[in-house]
Chain A
Amino acid sequence: AQRVTQPEKLLSVFKGAPVELKCNYSYSGSPELFWYVQYSRQRLQLLLRHISRESIKGFTADLNKGETSFHLKKPFAQEEDSAMYYCALSGLGGSGGYQKVTFGTGTKLQVIP
Chain B
Amino acid sequence: DAMVIQNPRYQVTQFGKPVTLSCSQTLNHNVMYWYQQKSSQAPKLLFHYYDKDFNNEADTPDNFQSRRPNTSFCFLDIRSPGLGDAAMYLCATSSPSGFTYEQYFGPGTRLTVT
Count residues on chain B whose CB falls below 8 Å from chain A CBs. 24
The A-B contact count (CB < 8 A) is 59
- 1-48 of chain B: CB within 8 A of chain A: 4, 31, 40-43, 45, 48
Count residues on chain A whose CB falls below 8 Å from chain B CBs. 27
Q: List 25 A-B contacts (CB under 8 A).
A: A9-B40, A34-B102, A42-B107, A43-B4, A43-B106, A43-B108, A44-B43, A44-B90, A44-B105, A46-B102, A46-B103, A46-B104, A49-B100, A51-B100, A86-B43, A94-B50, A95-B55, A98-B50, A99-B96, A101-B101, A101-B103, A103-B42, A103-B43, A105-B42, A106-B40
A96 within 8 A of B: yes
Residues of A near any B CB (own CB < 8 A): 4, 9, 32, 34, 36, 42-46, 49, 51, 86, 90, 94-106
